[in-house]
Amino acid sequence: MTDTREELAPSASGVEAIESRTGGAGEAPPTLRRRPRRLRRTGAIRDMVRETRLRPQQFIYPLFATSGSNTQEEIDALPGQYRLSPDRLVEQAKRAWDLGIPAVLLFGHAEHKDEIGSEAADPRGITQQAVRALKSNLPDLVVMTDVCLCAYTTHGHCGLVDENGQVLNDPTLEVLAKVALSHAEAGADTVAPSDMMDGRVGAIRQALDAAGREDIGIMAYAAKYASAFYGPFREAVDSAPQFGDRRGYQMDPANCREAVREAKLDVEEGADIVMVKPALAYLDVIAAVRSAVDVPVAAYNVSGEYAMVAAAAERGWVEPRALTLEVLTSIARAGADMIITYHALEAAAWLKA
């Protein structure tokens, strides 16, 4: 049977070629059995049949906490994003909440660094201060906290380091568990270990449960890649490694099956949510992890992805609203139940407009 659409496709001769095949301008073309364009004809129809729906309730807004009061320091590499003192952090989180965004993910900009990242677990630390401020003022806001050592150590690695510069897996687990517990005691709803040490989800779950904090959730950075997209974030919290790199514990960007194994291991150890990071260049990984686990899947639309859109928009090369919503929709379409994104405020405002 001849493909009717091919018969009707205009050739170099245009309308004349179509008329010659159909018997002239006055003759009706053959009936098409399928016309997909019927479901694209109007905006209302397109809305009715849309397969992936983006909502502010899917967003988690990353925030950077710094010491002081009434402090707002713009991050050069992340236009429109700031390091905020706890009081200003509350104001920004309130804006997110009013737009329908239910959760924030906190990162601390440490005032004091040492070899073992001791401020990370300090009850008086900046992340703990920020958690208390948020929960005091916005009790229904879901406060998630990043659990890692890189922003608190002088060497910038995500775990303890020996005299030979090797990142130590098992000794780090005890420290991470203490950090997570300190966040829970400050009022965090969910802790998010991002270090990629083996066994850290289990160690944190055990420590929380032993302290009577079975109610605290764990969102594991299950598949965190050794990515070139993290540069602006490292400026935001001053967390670049001072020697070597993180490829010995973060994942090889070439691997997808490994991400599925990591996600399954984290679920077995007690993760309530698993995350893929970055998001935009790893849509296939998001889809694979979504198919492999039965817990919610988060994806982190990271700093480099955000910065590329911001830079192109600043130069007038792209239309920021259309591109941002397309990027976020693609992440949701790949299977992410929730999206951590610096675009959260503007995207939520656009979706509500």
Query: Residues 135, 264, 277, 352: which is the catalytic one?
Result: 277
Residue 277 is a catalytic residue: yes
Taking CA atoms, 101 is separated from 81, 90, 164, 212, 220, in Å, by 16, 14, 44, 29, 20
Q: What pLDDT was estimated at residue 24?
A: 54
SS (H, E, C) 153-204: ECCCCCCEECCCCCEEHHHHHHHHHHHHHHHHHHCCCEEEECCCCCCHHHHH
pLDDT digits (tens, 9 = 90+) for 124-149: 999 999 999 999 999 999 999 999 99
Domain boundaries, the chain: 55-352
Kind plus residue range of the DSSP H or E element containing 262? helix 257-269
- Check whether 232 has a pLDDT greater than 60: yes
Residue 224 is a catalytic residue: yes
pLDDT digits (tens, 9 = 90+) for 276-327: 999 999 999 999 999 999 999 999 999 999 999 999 999 999 999 999 999 9
Query: Residues 135, 224, 264, 352: which is the catalytic one?
Result: 224
- Check whether 219 has a pLDDT greater than 70: yes
What is the reported pTM? 0.89
Kind plus residue range of the DSSP H or E element containing 310? helix 303-314
| 66 close to 84: Cβ distance less than 8 angstroms | yes
- Interior CA angle at 24 toward 19 and 30, to 5°? 75
**DSSP-assigned letter for residue 280:** G
Could you tell me whether strands 338-341 and 217-224 are parallel, antiparallel, or unpaired per DSSP bridges?
unpaired
2: confidence class by pLDDT, cuts 50, 70, 90 = very low
55-352: CATH number: 3.20.20.70
- Check whether 73 has a pLDDT greater than 80: yes
| 7 close to 21: Cβ distance less than 8 angstroms | yes
Q: What pLDDT was estimated at residue 13?
A: 53
Mean pLDDT rounded to a whole number for the chain: 91
Looking at per-residue confidence, does 30 or 204 come out higher? 204
Could you tell me whether strands 160-161 and 167-168 are parallel, antiparallel, or unpaired per DSSP bridges?
antiparallel
Most confident segment among 20-24, 145-149, 234-238 = 145-149
